[in-house]
Amino acid sequence: MSIAKTYNPKEAEEKWYSYWMEQGFFRSTPDEREPYTIVMPPPNVTGVLHMGHMLNNTIQDVLIRRARMQCKNACWVPGTDHASIATEAKVVAMLKEQGIDKKSLTREDFLKHAWEWKEKYGGIILKQLEKLGASCDWDRTKFTMDPDLSEAVIDTFIKFYKDGYIYRGVRMVNWDPQGKTALSDEEVIRKEVNQKLYYIRYKIKDSDEYIIIATTRPETIMADTAICINPNDERYQHLKEKKVIVPLVNREIPVIEDEYVEMEFGTGCLKVTPAHDLNDYELGQKHNLPVIDILNDDGTLNEKAEILVGEDRFIARKKIAKLLEEVDQIEKIEDYKSQVGFSERTDAAIEPKLSMQWFCKMEEIAKPALSYVEDGTIKLIPEKFFASYKHWMENVKDWCISRQLWWGQRIPAWYNENNEWVVAKTEAEAVKEFDAQGKSTAAIRQEDDVLDTWFSSGLWPMSVFDGVRNPENEDFKYYYPTNDLVTAPEILFFWVARMIIMGHDYTQKPPFRNVYLTGIVRDKLGRKMSKSLGNSPDPIELMEQYGTDGVRVGMLLSSPAGNDLMFDVSYCEQGRNFANKMWNAFRLVKGWETIDTPATEAQKTAAVWFENRFNQAVTEIDEHFANYRLSDALMSTYKLIWDDFCAWYLELVKPAYQQPIETETLETVKAFFQKVLALAHPFMPFLTEELYHDEIFGTRDAKDCIIVAEYPKVEAFDEKITKEFATVQQIISEIRAIRNSKGISPKVELPLAISNTDVDFAKYQESIIKLANISELSFVQEKVTGALSFLAGKTECYVQLAADNIDVEAERERITKEIEYLKGFLVSVDKKLSNERFVQNAKPEIIQNERNKKADAEAKITILEESLANLV
């Protein structure tokens, strides 16, 4: 049966993904094999596939497919995260469109709407990952608010509380006025913004004198409770023990002294607003200052502000500035740039706010998470992220784990009529606890707040296997700890560190062994891809246009671990071209007729070379995988298939036009083809499966698929053979280059002479004659005068051209330029070798490599100078 002229990716993708699912190839259950486990970083249920997901999940799929082919029990657990803040915002917006205000709903009614939204939209991204070819065990799909996972979260809260890690208290937190919830420090994104610096006059009580205070937030002056000066600042000694009047509200506040104030910054006077700045709060605690909170949860001014009540904070800022100008209490206004915190979820400017919240003590519990990475038990790939990880873990702050939302795991704390509280799993257990403490059990109500989403996802590698509730279950004992985690560097502390913390606390083991940190996908201008910039292509459209295999290859070709990917659709085009190259190579082989005769010696020699080259490439690829250099592993695979297999091996054994090929040689070609398909499968699953099932390979049973075929193992190879043939390739390439530069037709045969060398060229003679179109190949001991010469490795070669084929002046110019270039190159190498610091500090192999470069350049210069002398 003939094969289609062009590859149809869509047809292959639909056919083979459904087939793999039907045959259960993605499914995993514990058995006697070595497990290889990956848990998917659960995308938000609000999410749709973007380029970051594409990169992250392609890498995971490559790793899982390769492990499956290595006869490991490969288990890739998919799932989604409930994403409290983002999802609640989506549901609130949906309700608003329906004319429903969240405030008008009970918690239960709101959650009903939220669950309906989740069921309708929450699985979109997982269906899109199927299009990518993600070979997850879909039967194991989890959601962070599944009943069993939620129970694990509640159990963990109670455990941490009993262990003394969780406490409740009023602290300064990061407040998101749009989401109306507290955030952890890691959920705050710092951005440099253009602001105004307002210099405000504060009148000194019982005096006509003013002091000047510089602030970017004039809307908070109504919350001022002191003015602070440095006790060593000679400019303000006269202000000690004085009082000043807060503008507009005319309230008296004291002048306090503290070395915290930087004399060189601003005017050297600091207004202290304990309710609206973390440092001011700590200063206020130290000096026993009152706290005046003038902001509502939504960022509007409340009654304590006394003026502009109900105004939004940013509108109030402008109005306050105008009011101050009207009473002549603005000295000046300057443009100013400063760092401002924004909510990672809603992009609203953060307000520091005093709030009663639940916190998790981190100092002690975080120590093992640092130790695991320091001693290499967990490897961060690439290692460059260790320094920032270490800094964060050594300076970790208590984690605010409560969120003022309804969507999420509700904190298992209960209050009675006196607002006393206990921590308990159920209301019945709370009643017992109140009774045991001799406290009222009247009007019991549960805490309204839910837990930070990262608290639940911190349990993910354990909870997906029910390891929190039932650590003795077969799945958990078999699959945990997992092997590789593939995620983004920006959640190294949000998520990765917390999984390590919780995993160790429960099991005294790390949750994974390796953390592969991907880069950010950027456009070719270096900008982060985003919908707002309009520079992010739709991944589904890309796969429709270039084929899924083409897009996978395109992304991975340029995505080294931890380094940002400068993405351009041309990479996908390159991936598609690679798929087409393999398809056309297969069509070539499938079209060969056979003759039942043995292989020629040249074909056998070619087979010996390619087998050694293949094993050499597998060794390289295996090393790349071992070091998580997936981009390099793909490039080695790409070069092996495109260059060595298609461009060289198939050309070496290809029969003459309309001539049959020896049966023995075709069988060898088919065996090699299956090997390269297996090597390419993790990167290009659909194309390789399609070709693997062609009738040329015979009839296959239902389970005989490349997805579970044996991945090529590292085997010994003879480096002498690969080096010899590299010289042969160079000879052929040089002759082709001579034809090209001289405008000589490929059909014109040329004579070639090769000087005596330690390479046995006799066994490659037929191949050289065939691929270089040589009329006569001779081996000489002396230089051939009047011929063009070149160096292939250390072998001198001579091509005798007819007089009308040589432009003597042009050739003289070309050789002269090449000699000049090589002499310049020699200068740079000599400079490096004469540098004592380089010679003393560089590795011996690097020094030897430079010496080899020098010797090669000198040999080439000698040959070129002789060629120049021979030109007549």
Residue 815 CA to residue 812 CA, distance in Å, equals: 5
Two structure tokens written together for 721: 């053979």
Residue 133 CA to residue 213 CA, distance in Å, equals: 61
| Residues contacting 266, CB < 8 A, separation 6+ | 197, 213, 214
Residue of 192, 195, 193, 190 whose CA lies nearest to 336: 195
Annotate 91-130 with b (16+ C-beta within 10 A) or e (fewer). bbebbeeeeeeeeeeeeeebbebbeebbeebbebbbebbb
Residue 287 CA to residue 300 CA, distance in Å, equals: 28
Considering Cα of 85, then 86, then 89, then 94, what sign does the dihedral take?
Answer: negative
Contact 484, 512 (CB under 8 A): yes
Q: What are the CA-CA distances from residue 416 to residues 355, 434, 474 (Å)?
A: 20, 8, 42
Residue 649: DSSP 8-state: I
* Alpha-carbon 466 to chain mean position: 27
Two structure tokens written together for 461: 């590698």
Residue 289 CA to residue 747 CA, distance in Å, equals: 95
Contact 695, 1 (CB under 8 A): yes
Residue 808 CA to residue 868 CA, distance in Å, equals: 10
Q: What is the dihedral of CA 159, 165, 167, 171, to 10 degrees?
A: -150
504, β-bridge pairs = none
Beta strands in 549-708 (DSSP E): 565-566, 594-595, 661-662
Does the annotation list 397 as a binding residue?
no
- Binding site membership: which residues? 531
- Binding site membership for ATP: which residues? 531
